């Protein structure tokens, strides 16, 4: 009897170890690879948008997914892709307002955050792998990139100009890699250090840790443990995950304050993305290198970096080095939000680039 119990315990232990190995493998490999969207892989719906609703404030991108949007200015369209992930933009950016006489800047809330559709509240299944696949397919990188193509078709632009900030710059880069023929130009502002993973130097989470005082180190470590607790991910709700995502802002603010920097006001907790954040983390996995995919982009690219950004300049330059036709511009006395901190200089730099694009 004891022998049978021992064998049973050993088998149970083996299953636990196997589950752990599978989880580690699953979390490590990216679920998204450039080219998947173009090929129609892992999408819930066609790239052709459905019939549009009567509400002019929303685009329908799938039968059950709508995106809130607003625009500012008149003239040639520029699609603005917000960062975070999961931190939508509520008002026109100061640096872009200065260009609004010549350009119409179109802002939208990515699926899963802001006023756009949030497809999930809780998951009823305890099957991690099936849940992860559903989450990635619905809110992950491929779904976000597909939405950008649907938006292009909705606004009727043969080629689109994209302006992405932080994680939004990463998304804009992936769109350009998927549909290089549909991109007229790219402006990448403080692009997120996720083009290659693991990121050199540990990435943003590690950048923040290095700047926090000793008195807050354990608090921050506990926060990251809660944020990245993938073993219990699918026991949480959209509201819980959105709150966790929003909590990061206080640590970013504390790190910025250590350098005498201030950052724009944070979003209300209800605006932040919840499930969509983890969908994109699962899409990326822990190991990928997307640089080679950017070599196919022939459109002109402007990469803007604030000299006081908590993210190293080298991380932004990795984008400039990956695109064949990229320019790199550092804006002094600005950090991660140069369009708000130095709006006049930002407008001058971005405006000059856009003028050159129009003259080509």
DSSP string, 303-326: EEEETT-SS-HHHHHHHHHHSTTE
* Nearest one of 40, 44, 105, 81 to 354, comparing CA atoms: 105
Burial of 142 (0-12, 13-18, 19+ CB in 10 A): buried
Residue 32 pLDDT: 97
What pTM was computed for the model? 0.92
* Interatomic CA distance for residues 265 and 179, integer angstroms: 34
* Nearest one of 271, 312, 339, 231 to 118, comparing CA atoms: 271
How are strands ordered across the β-sheet holding 160-165? 58-62, 65-72, 103-108, 76-81, 160-165, 183-189, 301-306, 326-331
Residue 4 pLDDT: 57
* Nearest one of 94, 165, 164, 72 to 340, comparing CA atoms: 94
Residue 240 pLDDT: 97
- 43 vs 18, more confident: 43
Residue 132 pLDDT: 95
CATH of span 58-359: 3.40.50.1820
Burial of 5 (0-12, 13-18, 19+ CB in 10 A): exposed
* Interatomic CA distance for residues 185 and 169, integer angstroms: 12
Confidence of residue 21 (pLDDT cuts 50, 70, 90): very low
Measured distance between the N- and C-terminal CA atoms of the chain, rounded to whole angstroms: 82
What average pLDDT is seen over the chain?
92
Give residue limits of the domains in the chain: 58-359
Model confidence pLDDT, tens digit, residues 101-144 = 999 999 999 999 999 999 999 999 989 999 999 999 999 999 99
Dihedrals φ, ψ of 14, to 5°? -60, -40
**pLDDT higher than 60, residue 22:** no
Mean pLDDT, residues 8-19: 48
**pLDDT higher than 90, residue 77:** yes
Residue 23 and residue 230 in contact, taking contact as beta carbons nearer than 8 Å: yes
Tokens 């921050």 correspond to 220
* Interatomic CA distance for residues 140 and 120, integer angstroms: 13
Model confidence pLDDT, tens digit, residues 176-193 = 999 999 999 999 999 999
| Percentage of the chain exceeding pLDDT 70 | 92
* Interatomic CA distance for residues 135 and 265, integer angstroms: 29
Residue 152 pLDDT: 98
Confidence of residue 202 (pLDDT cuts 50, 70, 90): confident
List the beta bridge partners of residue 189: 165, 304
Per DSSP, helices labelled H in the chain are 2-28, 94-97, 128-139, 141-155, 167-178, 203-211, 217-227, 238-257, 275-284, 313-322, 338-341, 343-359
Supply the DSSP string of 10-35, one letter for each residue.
HHHHHHHHHHHHHHHHHHHS-S--TT
**pLDDT higher than 90, residue 168:** yes
* Nearest one of 345, 356, 228, 264 to 301, comparing CA atoms: 356
């Amino acid at each position: 009897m004891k022998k049978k119990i021992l064998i049973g315990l050993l088998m149970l232990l083996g299953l636990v170890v196997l589950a752990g190995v599978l989880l580690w493998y699953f979390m490590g490999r990216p679920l998204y690879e450039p080219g998947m969207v173009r090929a129609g892989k892992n999408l819930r719906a066609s790239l052709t948008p459905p019939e549009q609703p009567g509400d002019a404030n929303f685009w329908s991108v799938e039968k059950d997914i709508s995106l809130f949007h607003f625009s500012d200015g008149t003239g040639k369209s520029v699609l603005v892709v917000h960062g975070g992930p999961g931190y939508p933009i509520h008002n026109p950016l100061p640096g872009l307002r200065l260009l609004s006489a010549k350009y119409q800047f179109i802002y939208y809330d990515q699926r899963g955050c802001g006023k756009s559709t949030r497809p999930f509240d809780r998951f009823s299944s305890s099957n991690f792998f099936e849940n992860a696949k559903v989450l990635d397919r619905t809110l992950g990188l491929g779904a976000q990139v597909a939405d950008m193509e649907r938006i292009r078709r909705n606004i009727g632009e043969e080629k689109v100009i994209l302006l992405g900030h932080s994680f939004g710059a990463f998304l804009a880069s992936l769109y350009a890699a998927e549909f290089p023929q549909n991109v007229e130009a790219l402006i990448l502002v403080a692009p997120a250090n996720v083009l290659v993973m693991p990121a050199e130097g540990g990435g943003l989470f590690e950048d923040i840790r290095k700047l926090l005082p000793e008195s807050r180190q354990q608090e921050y470590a506990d926060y990251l443990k809660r944020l990245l607790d993938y073993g219990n991910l699918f026991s949480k709700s959209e509201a819980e995950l959105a709150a966790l995502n929003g909590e990061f802002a206080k640590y970013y603010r504390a790190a910025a304050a250590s350098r005498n920097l201030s950052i724009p006001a944070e979003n209300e907790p209800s605006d932040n993305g919840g499930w969509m954040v983890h969908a994109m983390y699962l899409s990326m996995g822990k190991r990928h290198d997307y640089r080679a995919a950017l070599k196919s982009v022939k459109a002109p690219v402007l990469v803007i970096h604030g000299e006081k950004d908590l993210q190293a300049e080298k991380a932004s330059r990795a984008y400039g080095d990956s695109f064949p036709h990229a320019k790199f511009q550092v804006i002094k006395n600005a950090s991660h939000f140069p369009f708000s901190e130095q709006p006049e200089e930002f407008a001058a730099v971005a405006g000059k680039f856009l003028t050159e694009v129009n003259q080509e």
